[in-house]
Each structure stands twice: as structure tokens, then as C-alpha cells.
Chains A and B, each alone.
Chain A
Amino acid sequence: MQGGQASGTADLDQLVRSAREQIAAAPDEATLEQLRIDLLGKKGVMTATLRGLGSLPADQRAARGARANDVKNEIESMLTARTGALADARLETIGEREWMDVTFVPALARRGHLHPLSLILRDVKAIFSRIGYEVALGPEVEDDFHNFEALNIPAEHPARDTMDSFYLEGSPLLLRTHTSPVQIRYMQAHQPPIRIIAPGAVYRRDATDPYHGSQFHQVEGLCIDEDIRFSDLKGTIEYFCRSLFGADRRIRITGDHFPFTEPSAGAAVSCGICGGAGCRSCKGGWLEILGSGMVHPQVLRNGGIDPARFSGFAFGAGLERLAMLKYKIADLRAFLDDDVRFLRQF
């Protein structure tokens, strides 16, 4: 634009007219921005005009100054108005110009899934943590003492028939057949009060079918203190079963036998499918879910705890069994297959 010597008000009028035309003709916001710089910027026409005021006589300076400021304000407001109008027009058509098919949503993000054994174990841990239990872990490779002897299962005991074991080559060690050895290890390391649950993998040399596998998981519980009674075991089992399966479930405690508890008891919950009337999924309306009992005095002694002073109870359940009941899983083999079509259901 012109930058020369500005003099009369006629120049300023001319400037306003020319600016108005150019602003009205500006097709977009970028052109307007360029106009703003040319007209009002540091090196623009208005700046030059105002700078030129200094050379005028003092009597003209005030009037011309006032007029120049008016012109500057006028141009500024024209620019602002035109910018607003252009923005409005642009936003008017934004829907047309930037249209998307919002129904086509490719799976760019996916979530993974926790294994059902993790899910059920989290439930179990949360339930027991509310009544003061902590988690204890033990090795999966065990010795005969912790897995059998200390639990009143000497060599040739018939209970060993149901716990056929995998042995390590060139070693007397075996894969634990249950999580009960964790009881012994924990007792050896801690005096009562003891309240633990011990989850983990166990191994039996059994052929695989929908209900059996050579590898599965158990969760063991142990509570030892002065004056622990069978009624406490019963209450704990009821609390656990109802917390896990629903407050409406009924619990049945029956006689049972385990070498490491005396008295021993089995626990069943009423079937959630038939409500206890009996169906294909249950046994006469009941689902057996855990074995339990008062810890045998000899087992306490084997763990270094005085049975004259302390008593306690223990219980154990199959995690797969709990998950099968809770999530209606039909086949035990699904737990180790890791078919993603199965895993993605949880």
C-alpha cells in the first residue's frame, strides 16, 4: 500500500473508502489478516499517518490527530465485523464440509480380559480380606513331608490313591497335589493368630476330562487362634459362600473325612439353577464346593503350634469349580486352552 507523506483529511477519507472496499471484498480470514497488517500494523498506513502528525503545526496537530484516531477505530471495527461475518459463514457450512460417517467405528482400541481364574480369585481375596485374612503362597514343587507326612498322610495311606503325583526326575520332590502344604509352611513360620488364604496351582496325575485335569487350582484357608470352634468354621463358610454366590443361597455342612482335619466337614451351596429342587447341574439341589474341618492336633504339632493352647480350622476349594459355578463354565479344559473366544467372555 501507499506509505508516502499524508497531509489533508481528504487522504484520510480516501483511506477509509479504500479500506472499506478492500475489507468488503476480502474472500477469507487470511486476506483480512493481511489487510489488518497492511492498514494497522507497525509498518502499515495508519502508523505512518500518525507518525506524520509530528511534522504538522501544533494548531492542526490536535484536530488531525483526533480524526486519524477515528479512522483507525473505524477500520478496526470494519475488520472485526468482516472477520466475524466470514467466521459465521464458514461455521455455517462446517457440517457439510467436515461430514463423517459416525456409524462406522473400526476397533482401533481393544481391551483385554482377565482370565476367569484371576476374576474368581480376586473375589475370593476381597471376601476374605474383609475378615482379616492375608494371602500366603508356597512353592509348587514340594517335598513329601509338607505335601503328605505333615498332613497325616504317611506313605501307603489310601488318601494317596486320590492324589497320584508327578515326581521330578532324579529327585524325591514332587508337584504339590493340593495347597495344604502351605498351611504347614505358614505355621512353621508364624505363631497364631493366623488367618490366611493360600491360592495356587496343584497337580494330580489324572487323565483329563470335562471335570478333571492334571493341573488345576485351589484356594486353601487356615484360621488358628485360641478358642477357634467348629461354629466359627461354619460361620466363615457361610459368609464366604453367600458373599461369592449370593445372599439367598443356603449352605449345607455335612460330615466328611480328611486325614488332616478332625472333625472334618464338607460344604455345599444350594443350586442356583434349580434353586435347590434338583437338576442336571447339581446333586439333589446341592453343589459341593469345599472340604474343611478343625485342624488335626497332630498337624498343629507338625507346624510347631501347641494344640493344647490353640485350635483352628482349615478349608479348601477348587478355584475352577468356583468359577465354573459362578460363570456357568461347562468344561474344565477351557481354563488351560486359552482360546480367546472363551477368554473374551470375561
Chain B
Amino acid sequence: MAMLISLAWLRDYVDAPEPAAVADRLTLAGLEVERIIPHAVAFERVVVAEVTELRPLPGSGKNQIARVRTGGDLSEVVTGAWNLRVGDRVPYALPGSRLGERVIEPKTFLGVTSQGMLCSPIELGLGEDAGGIMILDRGAQPGADLRQLYPPDTIFELDLKSNRPDLFCHLGVAREVGALFKLAVRPPEGSRRRLKSNPALVTIEAPEGCRRFAGRLITGVRVAPSPAWLQARLHAAGVRPINNVVDVTNYVMLELGQPMHAFDHARLQGGRLVIRRARPGETLLALDGKERPLSPEFMVVADATRAQALAGIIGGEESAVTEGTTAVLLEAATWEPRRIRMTARQVGLRTEASTRFEKGLSPALSLPAVDRAAQLIHELAGGEEKDAADVYLEPLVPAVIELSAGELERTLGLVIPSADAKDILVRLGFAVEGQQELLLVTPPAFRLDCHIPADLVEEVGRIYGYDRIPSTLPGARTAVRELYQQARSADLAKDVLVGCGYEEAVTNTLVGVASTLRVHMPDAPKALRIKNPLAETRDALRQSLLPGLLEALSLNARQDQPGAGLFEIGAAFWSAGKGSDFPHEPRLLATVAHVAASSAGAAAVELRRVQAALRLLAERVGKAPIEFQPAQPVDGFHPGRTATLIQDGEPVGVVGELHPRVLAGFDLPGRVIAAEVVFDRFAQPDPPVPQARPLPRFPGVRRDLTVVVSGRILGNELMQVIRQRGGYTLREISMQSEYEGPQLGAGRRSLSFGLHYQADDRTLTSEEVSASYERIVEGLKERFQAEVRS
């Protein structure tokens, strides 16, 4: 959460150095300064004016004429705003003045000349409020240059960490600056008046939601606009001024970090507050003008009859402090953070207050805050403290943490003298006792994040400066285990497929359950669904990589990139049965290749290419060579063009053309060849180390064999006969080419094989080879009525 810190305000408490130095050190210490914003007003020749007379602009229902006094001069201005009253001090842009880029000139409305312009906060760049003229406090001197009320400043935009709610205020940041630069810190003064806690004023009925509630009743207040300095500070911190009482509560929050609320005491039934859960059916009209139903899980601050505020989040309209208010009941409470988080989430409202409470504020903050607010209200709005309450059911017990010099050195890797460590902790508000070697440290009451020595090591380390810690590498003792045992084969497989011309893809793990049903591996179980998906198209865990890859192919086809070939290696999720069991996460390898042409022949060529790539893959990383067998029907695949990958007699994957109906579902034209392999079943975790064999001492003999067959006789079957008949000197048989065509006649194919003969102990004679060849030819004729072309 971003927090705006004004340098001028900060300097109330600590003599902070130049902005750049402050920003640097704060960032290193973990208070990241996201931006340094030079803050100067963007207007010229705008002065304070007093409204002396108001009258309607004749002939206009919308505008009125204001007569204003600036020092001795009187001017007339036409304004469309209706929030003015005689006696108000307002910003007046003189003729020829500048508001940013805009130059103000006299202007005539319905025959009346308006000299200059009365300004709203947004026109001056002093706030977001465009609803009416900005009302200054009555103490502002007519004729005074408005810029004197808004001196230049520097704003730090801080990105703070959630464990340090104590930093979400100027005093908190001042303490850090004090520790970082070794400067004294001057905390602000609060009221010293000590009234006895009156149990009748505040009752906690639901202690599970409220750890402490400090209240203070102040009577005889005069509600009015805040003085310019206060408005300027709120403005600098990004908070809209309302009136002096409300502004004080916001000011104290920005100063001390404790969110507060002010109730109009006269509007509270029974004149007291009850802290309880909301009642069934209860509603609250909140300060943002919205009426909200309240759940009994929510904490409310109620009067005797009904909810007056949604605890820790937003106040109610009914008891809001307005100009007519004379008695104010202040609240500085400590709300249970989890319930605040839950409530804020349920009502969909995050406020300055709720974001602070959510992080877990210390109950120690509430009483000083109420004292400080009472003091400021007394100064700005008059009034007397009349009654008080402080309900604090389970006070914090401060813990002592032991910090040894050895621990500091062992954790950080450098020696920080005990005295320095002690100084840092004390400046941060810790109480430190003890000797050189062992410090006994009590965290300040406003910090709830320190429990163990490591927490103190962090405090000392980050203030001392991480930049001053040396850079070392751990000692030489290293566990020698197998490096990358799982990852190697995947890297090698990727290299093979990249070499074959395919692009590596990484697709979404979350897919639409509809698309995952359309195509998947034969043995994938039912899809695992996501309970809370962001979109219907991402409501299941993938069982197959193919749907994601097909989405990518479809995207590429639409981007005028048809014919893409992609592959991915990644986890799929296969249900292990019961919902609470961890699913299997097999690593799959999948490829898809788009054939833009719709001809069966083009797809056949691509299918062969993919199959050949898979065979290369098996050679490189496979546990054993693979062969292809015609597959039983597989969901999503072409019934006549799909093969199962068999390795050591076991199926490890599928390859084939996809069914045209699947492509229609992915809006893909043309044809697609796809393959998917259970990678961990298929590949060796680590490919074997090559083992060299001696080269043959005698020359081998190569022969080509071309066979013409009719009908659906498989290459595998021919290979089997060739191998059986070839004899032991036939070392290698390779499939070489396939031909179908009019010369052969319908239904006939010719298949060419390469035969390689080799003997270890002699040069083969052509007679031996020919004898083997003839046996093969005989066998093929007998088994398949094959014709052999020579």
C-alpha cells in the first residue's frame, strides 16, 4: 500500500536531511520510496477573499453574484457554487492570475462583469473536490497570497510492507529517519488531562472483535473549516478536508498511525457506545452515502439502539460530525485484524482505516491518539474534555528478547559493536538492557512484529545498512548430489525437437473443461476442475498439453502464421481418485504441426515428419527404441491415421492426424498432426553415456529392396519377415520410401527398404548376400503375395 509522507510534516519531529538522502536510506532500510514528488502549488495571483455579500444573478437560476473583499478592495464575481456564506474566506483568482495553464480574465455573464474567479480545490490543484468553492478558515487574512498557506514541500510515496503498520504515519517514518541518520526525534504532545474511565460511556459486548476501545467526550466545540496549515497537510497526504473535528481525527491517523472516528454525541441514543456484532437484518447508511446490509459477522459501533459505524472501516451518516455538532465522542479503537479483513472484503470497501487495522495495530496506540486528538480539537475548535473511557480487556505483556553479539555476527556475517546495535534499537524505540555480549531487548509497545532474535537482527542489520555487509560466498563444503537429474532429458529432448524445426511453446495449465474433453491421451482420467476459476475457458487443469497447443496454433493461424509447428514439455494433472489426494503430475511431451493445405497427402507427409522426429527423440533420450502400431480409436484423433508409440512392448504415447471435428472446435483450418508422449515413461532420467564399439574390420554390403503390395499390409509386418528371413549377417533394415500411383494400379503401394549386411569375421561374398536376399523375396511373396522390383 502506498503511503504519502510530507517532508515538511516529517520535519516537525526530526531534522530530516535533503529529500534524496532520506529517500535513499529509507529505501535501503526497507521503506521503499517509490517516488519523490516535488510539491508546489501551480497557481499565481490567488489571494484570500472574504465574502461580504451574496445575491442571485438576475435572469439565471444557476449562478449568483458574490461581493468579495481582498484587503481594502472589493470585487464582484459570478459563481455557480452555492456552498458560500457571507463571512466565508475563499480563494480568489485575481484578473490575470494563473491556475496551472489557465489564465483568468474578467468575463461577462448576463450583463454582469465577473472580475476574477472563486476557486474549488480541484481548480487549484489542492484536492479532488470539484463540488464547491474551497472554504478557508476564518483566521485567513483577506488579501493574503494563498501560496503562503501552501508552502512548497516534498512528498515521498512509500511502498510499505504489511508487517509494519506502525510505519503508516509520519511519526513512524520520523523514528526510522532518526535511527538511520542518528537524529533526535520529537514526538508530538497530547492532552495531559487524565479522566477516570467511565464504564457507562463505552461497553464492549463482543470482545472477540475489539481489543481496546479508548473514547473521549469533548463538549462545547465549534465545528468550522480547518486552518490552512491543517488543510494543506491533509492535502499533501491525499486526504480531503471536511471540518476541523473530522480533519483532526484524520490528522492524528496520519501522524500517529491510529485511525479514529468522531461521533456527534447528541445524535447517539443513550449518549453511549456499544461495541457488538451487527444484528440480523441491521443496515447502516455510511458516510459514503450508501446504505449497506450488515452481517452478524461484522463488528459495529452502536448507540443504545442501532449501528452508528461499521467498526474499523467507515462511520455512519446519522451520527456524523457536522457544523451543528457541539459535543463530540472520539473513538480510538483496536479492532481484530482478521475480522476487519473479512468485513472489508465482504462489503467491498477498503478505507485508510481498514487497511491499517487489517495489518494488526498495537492497542498501545489508541490512548496516545485520543489524547493527541483531544489536544488538537481543544486548540482548533475549543471545547472541554468531559468524559472518558478506556476499555482494554487483555493488556499486552511485553516480552524480553535476548540478542547475543554472536547471533548478530553469525547471521549477518560482520561484527557490529554491541554499542552500535544498542543505539540502533533504542532509536527505534526498543528498551535495551544488558551487557556487551548479551542484550536484553523489549520491543516498543507500538510494534507487534518482533518476537525472536532474528527479528532484532533484521532491525539492526537494515538500519546499520545492508550495503555495509560484505559479499561472500558460502564455504567450500558442498553436498555433491546428482545435478539436474530430472531436467537433463527434457533439455536434450527440446534440442532434438528444435533441431527438427519445431518451436517450443509454454501454454496455460488451466484450460476449459470442454476443450480438454475433446482431445486427450487414451488413458487420461477425468479432468480436475477449479473451484473458483477466473473464466469458463480456464476452469480445469489440463490432462493433456494438446488443447493448449491447439489454441496456440489457432491463434497463429489467425495471425497469418499458418503451418506452425509447436511442442511443449510440461506437467499434466491426472486425478488420483479421491479429491483430497494429490493428483499425478506426469510430465508430458506434445507436438502439434499445422498443415495449412487441406489435402490428405500433405498431412501424410507431415505425419511422417512428426513420426521421424519422435524416432530421433527416442534415439536421443528414450529408454528404448520406439515403434508405431495402428491405434485403437483415440478421442480426437483421425481413425485411419493414428498410431500408438510402443516402447519395450508398452504404449507410451500417441501420434496421428487430428480428427476434423476437433479442429472445427478450435477454429483451425487445414489439418493438424499431433503427438503426445508420457515423457517420464518414455525418456531416461539421464540419457546413457555413449559406449564406443570397434568399427567393423571387413566391408559390408548394401542392397535396396522395393516391394509392391496390395491392401493394408503394414511396413512393420514386412520388416518382420525381412528380419526373420535375412539371416544373422543382415544387420540393419531401414524404411526408405513409399509410393502409390497410377503406374502401380489401385490399392497397390510400393515400399522401399535399405538392407545392410555385415559380418565380423570375413568379407561377405556376393553369393552369400544374394542367397539372403532371395530368401527374403521368397518370404515376402509367400506371406503377402508381394512383388519385388529390382
Query: Is the C-beta of A141 less than 8 angstroms from some C-beta in chain B?
Result: yes
Residues in B neighbouring A297, C-beta threshold 8 A: 452, 454
Cα(A125)–Cα(B573), bound, Å: 26
Query: Is the C-beta of A137 less than 8 angstroms from some C-beta in chain B?
Result: yes
B404 to chain A, nearest CB (A): 13
List B466-495 residues whose CB lies under 8 Å from chain A. Answer: 466-467, 469-475, 477-487, 491, 494
**Contact status of A215 and B510, CB under 8 A, knowing A170-B579, A232-B413:** yes
Question: A294–B466 contact, CB under 8 A?
Answer: no
A74 to chain B, nearest CB (A): 35
Residues in B neighbouring A140, C-beta threshold 8 A: 509, 571, 573, 585
A305 to chain B, nearest CB (A): 13
Residues in A neighbouring B161, C-beta threshold 8 A: 256-257
Query: Is the C-beta of B457 less than 8 angstroms from some C-beta in chain A?
Result: yes
The interface stretch among A3-11, A24-32, A77-85, A127-135 is A127-135
Query: Is the C-beta of A110 less than 8 angstroms from some C-beta in chain B?
Result: yes
Residues in B neighbouring A340, C-beta threshold 8 A: 503, 556, 561, 564, 566
The interface stretch among A14-22, A48-56, A60-68, A113-121 is A113-121
A300-340 to B contact mask, C-beta < 8 Å, 1/0: 00000000000100000000000000000000000111111
For the residues of A in contact with B, the DSSP-based class is: mixed
Residues in B neighbouring A311, C-beta threshold 8 A: 410-411
Query: Is the C-beta of B602 less than 8 angstroms from some C-beta in chain A?
Result: no
Cα(A113)–Cα(B457), bound, Å: 47
Question: B472–A232 contact, CB under 8 A?
Answer: yes
Query: Is the C-beta of A169 less than 8 angstroms from some C-beta in chain B?
Result: yes
One of B359, B455, B478, B555 near A195 (C-beta < 8 A): B478
Residues in B neighbouring A190, C-beta threshold 8 A: 479
Question: B462–A227 contact, CB under 8 A?
Answer: no
Cα(A32)–Cα(B27), bound, Å: 93
Cα(A190)–Cα(B480), bound, Å: 13
**Contact status of A335 and B506, CB under 8 A, knowing A225-B474, A231-B472, A311-B410:** yes
Residues in B neighbouring A207, C-beta threshold 8 A: 534
Query: Is the C-beta of A156 less than 8 angstroms from some C-beta in chain B?
Result: yes
B730 to chain A, nearest CB (A): 32
Question: A173–B582 contact, CB under 8 A?
Answer: yes
Question: A262–B341 contact, CB under 8 A?
Answer: no
Residues in B neighbouring A114, C-beta threshold 8 A: 494, 498, 504
**Contact status of A141 and B341, CB under 8 A, knowing A166-B530, A231-B471, A253-B467:** no
Cα(A235)–Cα(B567), bound, Å: 38
One of A161, A256, A343 near B30 (C-beta < 8 A): A256
Number of cross-chain contacts by CB at 8 Å: 258
Question: A131–B504 contact, CB under 8 A?
Answer: no
One of A125, A158, A341 near B484 (C-beta < 8 A): A125
B547-562 to A contact mask, C-beta < 8 Å, 1/0: 0010010011001010
Query: Is the C-beta of A220 less than 8 angstroms from some C-beta in chain B?
Result: no
Question: A113–B552 contact, CB under 8 A?
Answer: no
A44 to chain B, nearest CB (A): 25
Chain B: which residue is nearest A155 at the CB level?
B338
Residues in B neighbouring A166, C-beta threshold 8 A: 510, 530-533
Residues in A neighbouring B467, C-beta threshold 8 A: 252-253
Query: Is the C-beta of B691 less than 8 angstroms from some C-beta in chain A?
Result: no
**Contact status of A111 and B478, CB under 8 A, knowing A131-B473, A134-B484, A232-B473:** no
Query: Is the C-beta of A194 less than 8 angstroms from some C-beta in chain B?
Result: yes
Residues in A neighbouring B485, C-beta threshold 8 A: 134-135
Question: B473–A194 contact, CB under 8 A?
Answer: no
Query: Is the C-beta of B198 less than 8 angstroms from some C-beta in chain A?
Result: no
Chain B: which residue is nearest A257 at the CB level?
B161
Question: A110–B501 contact, CB under 8 A?
Answer: yes
Query: Is the C-beta of A344 less than 8 angstroms from some C-beta in chain B?
Result: yes
**Contact status of A214 and B529, CB under 8 A, knowing A231-B412, A235-B472:** no
Query: Is the C-beta of A167 less than 8 angstroms from some C-beta in chain B?
Result: yes
Residues in B neighbouring A111, C-beta threshold 8 A: 498-499, 501
List B559-603 residues whose CB lies under 8 Å from chain A. Answer: 559, 561, 564-567, 570-571, 573, 579-580, 582-583, 585
Question: B530–A228 contact, CB under 8 A?
Answer: no
Question: B498–A167 contact, CB under 8 A?
Answer: no
Query: Is the C-beta of A148 less than 8 angstroms from some C-beta in chain B?
Result: no
Chain B: which residue is nearest A214 at the CB level?
B534
Cα(A159)–Cα(B358), bound, Å: 11
Give the contact-size bracket for chain A.
35 or more
Residues in A neighbouring B164, C-beta threshold 8 A: 257
Query: Is the C-beta of A90 less than 8 angstroms from some C-beta in chain B?
Result: no
Question: B504–A115 contact, CB under 8 A?
Answer: yes
Cα(A339)–Cα(B487), bound, Å: 25
Residues in B neighbouring A215, C-beta threshold 8 A: 508-510
List A157-194 residues whose CB lies under 8 Å from chain B. Answer: 158-159, 161, 166-173, 175, 190, 192-194
A165 to chain B, nearest CB (A): 8
B478 to chain A, nearest CB (A): 4
B589 to chain A, nearest CB (A): 13
Question: A168–B528 contact, CB under 8 A?
Answer: yes
Query: Is the C-beta of B458 less than 8 angstroms from some C-beta in chain A?
Result: yes
Residues in A neighbouring B458, C-beta threshold 8 A: 255, 262-264
Cα(A173)–Cα(B573), bound, Å: 13
Query: Is the C-beta of B104 less than 8 angstroms from some C-beta in chain A?
Result: no
Cα(A159)–Cα(B162), bound, Å: 8
B488 to chain A, nearest CB (A): 9
Query: Is the C-beta of A283 less than 8 angstroms from some C-beta in chain B?
Result: yes
**Contact status of A336 and B507, CB under 8 A, knowing A112-B565, A141-B541:** yes
**Contact status of A343 and B503, CB under 8 A, knowing A195-B479, A296-B454:** yes
Cα(A210)–Cα(B439), bound, Å: 49
Chain A CB within 10 A, most for which of B27, B486, B497: B27
Residues in A neighbouring B30, C-beta threshold 8 A: 254-257, 264, 266
Chain B: which residue is nearest A337 at the CB level?
B555
Chain A: which residue is nearest B498 at the CB level?
A112
One of B34, B462, B473, B552 near A255 (C-beta < 8 A): B462
Residues in B neighbouring A195, C-beta threshold 8 A: 474, 478-479
**Contact status of A263 and B556, CB under 8 A, knowing A194-B479, A236-B473, A256-B30:** no
**Contact status of A205 and B534, CB under 8 A, knowing A115-B504, A134-B483:** yes
List A130-156 residues whose CB lies under 8 Å from chain B. Answer: 131-135, 137, 139-141, 143, 156
Question: A230–B412 contact, CB under 8 A?
Answer: yes
B408-424 to A contact mask, C-beta < 8 Å, 1/0: 00111110000000000
Query: Is the C-beta of B368 less than 8 angstroms from some C-beta in chain A?
Result: no
Residues in A neighbouring B559, C-beta threshold 8 A: 339, 341
Query: Is the C-beta of B505 less than 8 angstroms from some C-beta in chain A?
Result: yes
Chain B: which residue is nearest A119 at the CB level?
B504
Query: Is the C-beta of A229 less than 8 angstroms from some C-beta in chain B?
Result: yes
Question: A112–B502 contact, CB under 8 A?
Answer: yes
B209 to chain A, nearest CB (A): 13
Cα(A195)–Cα(B161), bound, Å: 28
B590 to chain A, nearest CB (A): 12
List A268-295 residues whose CB lies under 8 Å from chain B. Answer: 283, 294
Cα(A230)–Cα(B393), bound, Å: 41
Residues in B neighbouring A201, C-beta threshold 8 A: 509, 570-571
A324 to chain B, nearest CB (A): 14
Chain A: which residue is nearest B338 at the CB level?
A156
One of A158, A232, A296 near B358 (C-beta < 8 A): A158
Residues in B neighbouring A235, C-beta threshold 8 A: 470-473
Add 9 more A-B contacts to A201-B570, A252-B28 (CB < 8 A): A115-B503, A141-B528, A175-B530, A214-B510, A225-B475, A234-B470, A311-B411, A338-B549, A339-B556
17 example contacts (A-B, Cβ-Cβ < 8 A) are as follows A113-B504, A114-B504, A118-B494, A122-B491, A140-B509, A201-B570, A201-B571, A223-B474, A230-B412, A234-B413, A234-B470, A253-B467, A257-B162, A257-B164, A297-B452, A336-B508, A343-B504
A interface residue numbers (CB < 8 A to B): 109-115, 117-118, 122, 125, 129, 131-135, 137, 139-141, 143, 156, 158-159, 161, 166-173, 175, 190, 192-195, 201, 203, 205, 207, 214-215, 223, 225, 227-232, 234-236, 238-239, 252-257, 259, 262-266, 283, 294, 296-297, 311, 335-341, 343-344
